[in-house]
Structure formats: C-alpha cells, structure tokens
C-alpha cells in the first residue's frame, strides 16, 4: 500500500484554498445587496370604473 506524503507545493495549494474559503465565508456573512427587485415603492393606483359600462 502506498502512503501519500504531501509536498511543499501541496501545502501551498492547501493554504491558498483555505484562504479562498475564508474569504468566501466572509462574503456569505454579508447581507444581500438591495437590488430593488420585488420591492413595492408605492401602492398601485386604484382602477377607475368605467361610467359607461353597466
């Protein structure tokens, strides 16, 4: 059975990925940006009844 022994390059890559994960986790902790999508900024004006209909 072969035993895997990490090389210094593996250590560098592992540390790089850990740092990347730390940065991503910090970004995910931030609140969602306000994009105005789905926000009601004012009420819809009521529809006018047709005086001739009826």
* pLDDT digit string, tens, across residues 1-54: 888 888 888 999 999 999 999 999 999 999 987 777 777 777 777 888 766 655
| H-run or E-run covering 28 | helix 8-29
Q: Which residue has the tokens 């910090």?
A: 26
Question: Smallest Cα–Cα separation from 18: which of 31, 32, 26?
Answer: 26
Note the pLDDT of residue 52: 60
Q: How many helices (H) and strands (E) does the chain have?
A: 1, 0
pTM: 0.52
Residues 29, 22: Cα–Cα separation, whole Å? 11
Determine the Cα–Cα distance for residues 16 and 6; give it in Å rounded to an integer: 15
């Amino acid at each position: 059975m072969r035993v895997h022994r990490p090389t210094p390059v593996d250590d560098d890559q592992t540390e790089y990925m850990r740092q990347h994960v730390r940065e991503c986790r910090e970004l995910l902790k931030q609140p969602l940006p306000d994009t105005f999508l789905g926000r009601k900024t004012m009420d819809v004006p009521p529809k006018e009844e047709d005086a001739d209909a009826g």
